[in-house]
Amino acid sequence: MTEKLLGYKGKALHFLKEVEAEVGDTIRVSKGKGTYEGVLIPRSEFSDGNHVVIKLKNGYNIGILVTQETKIERVGAGQKPTFSTSPLPKQQEELPEVTILSTGGTIASRVDYRTGGVRPALNANDLYSIVPELSEIATIKAEILYTVFSENITPKHWIKLAKEIAKNIKEGVAGIVVAHGTDTIGYTAAALSFALQNIPVPIVLVGSQRSADRPSSDAATNLIGAVTVASKAPFAEVVVAMHRTTSDKAIALHRGTKVRKCHTSRRDAFKSINTLPLAILEDGELRMLTQDYQRRNPKREVIVKPSFNEKVALVKFHPGLNRGVIDWYLDQGYEGIVLEGTGLGHVSSQCFATLRRAIAENCLVAMTSQCIWGRVNMNVYDTGRDLIKIGVIPLGDMLSETALVKIMWVLAQTKSVDEAKKLLAKNVTHEVSDRTVYQDYER
Amino acid sequence: MQVVVINYDKIGLKVGLEIHQQLSSEKKLFCNCKTELFKGEPETTFLRRLRPTQSELGQIDPAAFFEFQKGTQVLYEIERETSCLVEMDEEPPHNLNPEALKAALTISLMLNAEPVDEIHIMRKIVIDGSNTTGFQRTSIVSLGGVAEILGKSVSIQHVGLEEDAARKMGEDSRVLKYRIDRLCIPLVEIATSPVIKTPQQAQEVAFAVGRILRATNMVKRGLGTIRQDLNISIRDGALVEIKGVQELELISLVIENEAQRQLSLLRIRDELRRRNVKENEIGDDFVDVTSVFDNTKCKVVKAAIKDGKKVYAVRLPKFSGFLKEELTPGLRLGTEMADRARFWGHCGGIFHTDELPAYSITKEEVESLRLIMDAKEDDAVVFVAEETENAWDALKAVTLRAREALAKVPEETRTAKPDGTTRYMRPRPGAARMYPETDIPPIQISAEYLRNLRKNLPELPEKKMQRLTRDYKLNRKLAREILDSEFIKLFEEIVNQSKVSPTFAIVFLTETLKALKRDGIEVEKVSNQQLSELLRQVGAGRIAKEATSDIIVWLSKHKEADVTESIDALGLGMLSLTELQVIIDNTIRENHSLLAARGDKAFGILMGILMKQLRGRVEAKRLSEIVKKKLSKLK
Ligand SMILES: [Zn+2]
């Protein structure tokens, strides 16, 4: 597969190579009853090798089956796509400076209508031209840190991101925005919450649920919200900024340790679990929903602890779970296991022996609930009491994902199991609360 | 306005048709919602903004970009039966509905168009709010067909399969309201080449295509289920796109009007030039003239000023008299300006000196307005009462339209009104921006699938026509009537399986039902099943033809009732020969002297008396035969 014939393979690739056609060229395909002329379009790499795709003059794409009778001619050379950026809005120097770090989530993009390609914004100028409103909120410094799908992000990426953020904070920016794919944005937010403590300014992670190329995307609204918060919010915490409802009205700011993606596709997929969001941004006004938060203070010195131990697993218990799964982790030398138990925090007694082994081997075993909402309580039923006796640590109302990240972080801060247990018990960054008030689940 | 017969050949009329027909598939094109519309209040609403995507800037649909800059929002109304997360753009589309695809391919083959090997769904950018995504999902299913229409062949550019748009429910200031029940209902689009030369021909083509569509039995019927867009141009005029002609019968009138409108605009242009009006003299100098109307009696202006709005005016040099020039019936140059002002300024309308004094605006007010505006006798003055920003946008639109009047017929998109006239809708969008819908994999059409489809194609309307006239001994008019109706399939079933006269069945299914509907009877409440049963009973001689209307009226009020029940309820059972003879004998006896006195006229009188008494319980023909026999015996 070559760049010039993107996605083509098999017979189609052979035919196109013969006439030296490239994506973007005008070609004429004749077969049997018809002749079709149009611009050669890249083919999806998941499609077969028997069709050539062209864009007709009226803008539509069609696929033409290549057979023995097919004739392909190259009629004209393609034009390289040029994006004429509209004149950039004037930079207002007195505005606060915000750094936007991109990790691969496409928060802004343009469409090349000629070939159908969607290109992400690459720099601050791109961002300004796509979302001109940004220039009225802040002066932007944009940087692409890496380009990976959200599901391919690992603790190594968290470390690099945390260090980069710390560097920018020390340079004195008013706030940080991290553009991130939504699938694992919650994990990254939790990781940054532990790795960067005592932060002087807000760190705002932002993504989009509906692709940035579509006019209806939530990307721009979320980004504008994120930059607004980064530049002027009164708090200095790690938050995720996403749509509060399906409407383009309000942006909810969720604490990095309490946020979870609760829907596969909706704009308002992100919810603060077991708590309210930290704040709501609506019509340019930021409304704090609690007074218990760290105030913005540019003079505060950030504490950077960017290390994570990757030998930690999150195991979801289910009826019939083979305890051999947990044994396997122990055989691999895992040092921490988060059990996502049923209800108040239970796993079957079948697992007890293996859990005893884990504790004996100095593996940190902690319990969260797969109910998502509510806190674990292992004093109510026998199983819970047994687990406590074995040495499983209940984690209160902590999210399973946050628990995983926290233990990864804890086990990188100390070698001592006792120290680790102490750190795990401590509420480091609002990841756990001792009080749950009645509220609607979905808020 | 001068009414002249237009020689369409001479003015170089060119028309292309785009026919959009909703399919009757059970589910929507990319999700499993019902293809129905909801009545009443929405369950909930949500609010969105559509952002023109990059690389559109510059070449973007200017109206949409303007709206975006103004912060226009769209309020969508939803209800759970008719829309889901897909229509809300909160969930990716599901795979293309195979039932809809089958319909589109069937239609393609009937129009002799060549299906493409692989269908690619495209996203066509539409940011007027009618699509929650900001684009319409659309595709080409086949290319290059030929429709044989009255011996002439009309070339088809393509047959497309696409989703219908949301329904606009209204707007207030900068919030547009749409209902998304209609969004994603499958539509086939049939686009002809712009080769149609007369209004009449366009209408015939549309009718013929409509018949082919209906012949598939895969399309919806009724108002709003078929919409025609017309691309109309004349030599020296402009390409004007007219959207949403809902009745086929209107097509020729819409085209005649549009040709007339363009001719009128060209004539006005020439007259303006003769009057030596200059484009650069029409400036955007808007003057606050609120003080003129301090004590006005004009309700609209008074209310606006009370609301804190202002009256702004602009002078159109040497335009006096032109604003009231009629372009087509009911449409003046002033109307065109008002429509532009409404669109760009979201204002209620404009006032202009060509129509004043009127609307309780006095001569004195007009005079002081003219004085302030420094308007000479042959100048026109236009004003609006609005908030400043909207007022300026409105007046800018007016002056732009005035300058255009001097230069050309503007290219624009217009909406068809039910009376066949058209009104300004928006500027013509730039070249369609399309890119692939990557959430739906391309769909390959196998040769095998097409072979099967070809084998089972529905009968073409022309062929069916021949068969109907031949098999059921119908004249062309009757055959046409049933062919164009929604009952063609039912008709054939009934006449093939019963003894009812085909002619009676057609008259009943078309004219009788229509007449009853006109009288306010809810005939649509009578099911096909009931209609069929009724006609079979007529065929079996158990119901008199004369009784059918009464039975329909009864059935329309008794859902799911049996036809037999209606006969009992209405006392319309057919009389036996013996019963009949007794009644006739009695009647003759009772009226003996009268009948004897009238001699030859006795038959008519007797029939009159009997029919009044027996209507619906005996066939008139049968009754007359018996009466004749009885009377002849009397003599
Ligand atoms: Zn749906």
pLDDT 10s digits, B102-124: 999 999 999 999 999 999 999 99
C-alpha span between B34 and B42 (Å, rounded): 16
Chain A interface mutation, best of B60, B118, B140, B180, highest count of A Cβ atoms under 10 Å: B118
Helix (H, G, I), strand (E, B) or coil at A13: helix
Answer yes or no: do B529 and B627 share one domain. Answer: no
**What are the pLDDT digits (tens) for A343-370?**
999 999 999 999 999 999 999 999 999 9
Q: Could you tell me where the beta strands, DSSP code E, fall in B13-134?
A: 14-22, 44-48, 73-78, 114-115, 118-119, 122-125
What is the arithmetic mean of pLDDT over B11-22?
Answer: 96
Answer yes or no: do A19 and A113 share one domain. Answer: no
B131-to-B134, B190, B244 alpha-carbon distances in Å: 5, 21, 16
Chain B interface mutation, best of A46, A136, A246, A267, highest count of B Cβ atoms under 10 Å: A246
- Residue pairs between chains A and B whose CB atoms are closer than 8 Å: 140
In three-state form (DSSP H/G/I as H, E/B as E, the rest C), the secondary structure along B90-122 is CCCCCCCCHHHHHHHHHHHHHCCCEECCEECCE
Answer yes or no: do B537 and B601 share one domain. Answer: no
Task: Flag whether A333 is in a domain.
Answer: yes
CATH of the domain at A356: 3.40.50.40
Q: Looking at CA atoms only, how far is residue B438 from chain A in angstroms?
A: 9
Whether A106 is a known active-site residue: answer yes
**What are the pLDDT digits (tens) for B355-372?**
989 899 999 999 999 999
Point out the domain boundary residue: B364, B381, B406: B406
Range 91-130 of A in CB contact (< 8 A) with B: 108-113, 116, 118, 129-130
Q: Which of B58, B122, B125 sits opposite A60 (nearest CB)?
A: B122
Answer yes or no: do B340 and B309 share one domain. Answer: yes
Q: What are phi and psi of A312, to 5 degrees?
A: -130, 135
Residue A1: per-residue pLDDT: 43
Answer yes or no: do A251 and A350 share one domain. Answer: no
Cβ within 8 Å, pair B90-A220: no
Looking at B120-225, list the stretches that DSSP marks H as alpha helix, in order from N- to C-terminal side: 199-215
Of A149-153, B4-8, B240-244, B532-536, least confident by mean pLDDT is: B4-8
Task: Flag whether A4 is in a domain.
Answer: no
Total domain count, chain B: 4
Answer yes or no: do A299 and A167 share one domain. Answer: yes
What is the arithmetic mean of pLDDT over B236-263?
Answer: 93
Residue A213: per-residue pLDDT: 85
What is the arithmetic mean of pLDDT over B190-205?
Answer: 92
Residue A76 β-bridge partners: A26
Q: Which of B85, B117, B125 sits opposite A266 (nearest CB)?
A: B85
Q: Has residue A443 got a pLDDT over 70? A: no
**What tokens were used for A284?**
């340019």
Residue A113: per-residue pLDDT: 66
Q: Has residue A442 got a pLDDT over 70? A: no
What is the arithmetic mean of pLDDT over B9-38?
Answer: 96
With contacts defined as CB-CB under 8 Å, which chain B residues touch A44?
A: 438, 441-442
Answer yes or no: do A157 and A106 share one domain. Answer: yes
Closest CA to B100 of B57, B159, B45, B146: B159
Residue B56: per-residue pLDDT: 38
| All residues at 6 or more sequence positions from A148 whose CB lies less than 8 Å from its CB, including other chains | A103, A104, A157
Answer yes or no: do B184 and B41 share one domain. Answer: yes
CATH of the domain at B310: 3.30.1360.30
With contacts defined as CB-CB under 8 Å, which chain A residues touch B118?
A: 51, 53, 62-65
Residue A379: per-residue pLDDT: 94
Whether A182 is a known active-site residue: answer yes
C-alpha span between B586 and A109 (Å, rounded): 93
Q: Has residue A440 got a pLDDT over 90? A: no
**What tokens were used for B290?**
């609120």
Residue B582: per-residue pLDDT: 84
**What tokens were used for A359?**
């504790």
A312-to-A323, A376, A387, A416, B399 alpha-carbon distances in Å: 17, 20, 19, 16, 71
Answer yes or no: do A23 and A63 share one domain. Answer: yes
Q: Has residue A63 got a pLDDT over 80? A: yes
**What are the pLDDT digits (tens) for B412-468?**
999 999 899 999 988 877 666 788 998 999 999 999 999 999 999 998 888 888 898
* Domain range enclosing A365: 312-425
Q: In residues, how long is chain A?
A: 443
8 A C-beta contact, residue B75 and residue B176 = yes
Closest CA to B544 of B510, B508, B519: B508
C-alpha span between B36 and B454 (Å, rounded): 30
Answer yes or no: do A199 and A159 share one domain. Answer: yes
Place of tokens 């005649």: B256
Q: Which of A116, A215, A220 sits opposite B436 (nearest CB)?
A: A116
CATH of the domain at A291: 3.40.50.1170
Total domain count, chain A: 3
Whether A261 is a known active-site residue: answer yes
8 A C-beta contact, residue B563 and residue B547 = no
Closest CA to B217 of B456, B394, B422: B456
Q: Exposed, middle or buried: residue B535 (CB in 10 Å: 0-12, 13-18, 19+)?
A: buried
Q: Has residue A314 got a pLDDT over 50? A: yes
Reported as half-sphere exposure (CB side, CA atoms, 13 A), residue B127 has a value of 33
Answer yes or no: do A32 and A165 share one domain. Answer: no
Question: What is the β-pairing status of strands A312-316 and A336-341?
Answer: parallel
What is the arithmetic mean of pLDDT over B299-310?
Answer: 93
Answer yes or no: do A413 and A343 share one domain. Answer: yes
Q: Looking at CA atoms only, how far is residue B346 from chain A in angstroms?
A: 22
Task: Flag whether B190 is in a domain.
Answer: yes
Answer yes or no: do A334 and A296 share one domain. Answer: no
What is the arithmetic mean of pLDDT over A15-34?
Answer: 89
Answer yes or no: do B505 and B592 share one domain. Answer: no
Q: Looking at CA atoms only, how far is residue A266 from chain B in angstroms?
A: 5
Q: Is A388 on the interface with B (CB under 8 A)?
A: no
With contacts defined as CB-CB under 8 Å, which chain B residues touch A56?
A: 140
C-alpha span between A417 and A423 (Å, rounded): 10
Helix (H) or strand (E) holding B332: strand B331-332
With contacts defined as CB-CB under 8 Å, which chain B residues touch A113?
A: 55, 433-435
Q: Could you tell me where the beta strands, DSSP code E, fall in B378-512?
A: 380-386, 412-416, 422-427, 434-436, 443-444
Task: Flag whether A328 is in a domain.
Answer: yes
Place of tokens 């194609």: B457
Helix (H) or strand (E) holding A259: strand A259-261
**What tokens were used for A88?**
């950039």
With contacts defined as CB-CB under 8 Å, which chain B residues touch A48?
A: 444
Q: What are phi and psi of B184, to 5 degrees?
A: 80, 5
Cβ within 8 Å, pair A118-B435: yes
Q: How many CB atoms lie within 10 A of CB B633?
A: 8
Question: What is the β-pairing status of strands A109-112 and A203-206?
Answer: unpaired
Point out the domain boundary residue: B535, B570, B605: B570
C-alpha span between B520 and A162 (Å, rounded): 75
C-alpha span between B64 and B50 (Å, rounded): 9
Helix (H, G, I), strand (E, B) or coil at B424: strand
| All residues at 6 or more sequence positions from B367 whose CB lies less than 8 Å from its CB, including other chains | none
Residue A386: per-residue pLDDT: 96
Task: Flag whether A433 is in a domain.
Answer: no
Question: What is the β-pairing status of strands A203-206 and A238-243?
Answer: parallel
Answer yes or no: do B59 and B94 share one domain. Answer: yes
Residue B62: per-residue pLDDT: 65
**Calculated CA dihedral for residues A122, A125, A129, A130, nearest 10 degrees:** 30
With contacts defined as CB-CB under 8 Å, which chain A residues touch B139?
A: 60
Q: What percent of chain A has pLDDT over 90?
A: 75
What is the arithmetic mean of pLDDT over A331-348?
Answer: 97
What is the arithmetic mean of pLDDT over A288-315?
Answer: 96
Answer yes or no: do A285 and A145 share one domain. Answer: yes
Task: Flag whether A441 is in a domain.
Answer: no
Point out the domain boundary residue: A269, A304, A339: A304
C-alpha span between B539 and B535 (Å, rounded): 6
Q: What percent of chain B has pLDDT over 70?
A: 96
Q: Which residue of A has its CA nearest to B432?
A: A59
Burial code (b: 16+ CB inside 10 Å, e: under 16) for B408-428 equals ebbebbbebbeebbbbbbbbb
Residue A163: per-residue pLDDT: 98
Answer yes or no: do B495 and B564 share one domain. Answer: yes
Answer yes or no: do B550 and B583 share one domain. Answer: no
Burial code (b: 16+ CB inside 10 Å, e: under 16) for B374-385 equals ebeeebbbbbbb
Q: Has residue B57 got a pLDDT over 50? A: no
Task: Flag whether A366 is in a domain.
Answer: yes
8 A C-beta contact, residue A354 and residue A330 = yes
Task: Flag whether B265 is in a domain.
Answer: no
Cβ within 8 Å, pair B433-A113: yes
Q: Which residue has the higher pLDDT, B327 or B565?
A: B327
Point out the domain boundary residue: B570, B586, B615: B570
Closest CA to B405 of B422, B380, B429: B380
C-alpha span between A155 and A308 (Å, rounded): 6
Closest CA to B255 of B15, B11, B12, B417: B15
Q: Has residue B132 got a pLDDT over 90? A: yes
Task: Flag whether B530 is in a domain.
Answer: yes
Chain mean pLDDT for chain A: 91
A224-to-A79, A165, B52, B241, B392 alpha-carbon distances in Å: 34, 19, 16, 37, 29
Amino acid of residue B259 = A
Q: Has residue B562 got a pLDDT over 90? A: no
Answer yes or no: do A59 and A167 share one domain. Answer: no
Answer yes or no: do A178 and A46 share one domain. Answer: no
Residue B61: per-residue pLDDT: 59
Helix (H) or strand (E) holding B306: helix B299-306
**pTM for the model:** 0.85
Angle CA(B529)–CA(B534)–CA(B536) in degrees, nearest 5?
95
Answer yes or no: do B511 and B552 share one domain. Answer: yes
C-alpha span between A53 and A62 (Å, rounded): 6
Helix (H, G, I), strand (E, B) or coil at B331: strand
Task: Flag whether A411 is in a domain.
Answer: yes
What is the arithmetic mean of pLDDT over B308-328?
Answer: 94
Answer yes or no: do B221 and B158 share one domain. Answer: yes
Q: Which residue in the list A11, A55, A261, A406 is annotated as catalytic?
A: A261
Q: Has residue B3 got a pLDDT over 70? A: no
* Domain range enclosing B548: 459-570
Task: Flag whether B166 is in a domain.
Answer: yes
Cβ within 8 Å, pair A63-B127: no
**What are the pLDDT digits (tens) for B371-398?**
999 999 999 999 999 999 999 999 999 9
Q: Looking at CA atoms only, how far is residue A269 from chain B in angstroms?
A: 10
Answer yes or no: do B230 and B324 share one domain. Answer: no
**What tokens were used for A145?**
């840190």
Task: Flag whether A430 is in a domain.
Answer: no
| All residues at 6 or more sequence positions from B280 whose CB lies less than 8 Å from its CB, including other chains | none
- Which of B264-268, B477-481, B488-492, B630-634 has the highest mean predicted lDDT (pLDDT)? B264-268
Cβ within 8 Å, pair B118-A53: yes
Closest CA to A326 of A314, A308, A343, A309: A314
Task: Flag whether B88 is in a domain.
Answer: yes
Cβ within 8 Å, pair B55-A248: no
With contacts defined as CB-CB under 8 Å, which chain B residues touch A220?
A: 51
Burial code (b: 16+ CB inside 10 Å, e: under 16) for A354-367 equals bbeebeeeebbbbb
**What are the pLDDT digits (tens) for A215-257?**
999 999 999 999 999 999 999 999 999 999 999 999 999 999 9
Cβ within 8 Å, pair B434-A113: yes
Question: What is the β-pairing status of strands B122-125 and A34-40?
Answer: unpaired
Q: What percent of chain B has pLDDT over 90?
A: 59
How far is residue A358 CA from its own chain's centroid? Answer: 32
Q: What are phi and psi of A57, to 5 degrees?
A: -60, -35
CATH of the domain at A33: 2.30.30.520
Helix (H, G, I), strand (E, B) or coil at B75: strand
Answer yes or no: do B562 and B613 share one domain. Answer: no
Range 426-465 of B in CB contact (< 8 A) with A: 431-436, 438, 441-442, 444
Cβ within 8 Å, pair B114-A51: no
C-alpha span between A20 and A74 (Å, rounded): 8
Of A75-89, A292-306, B240-254, B448-462, least confident by mean pLDDT is: A75-89
CA of B93 to the centre of ligand 1 (A): 9
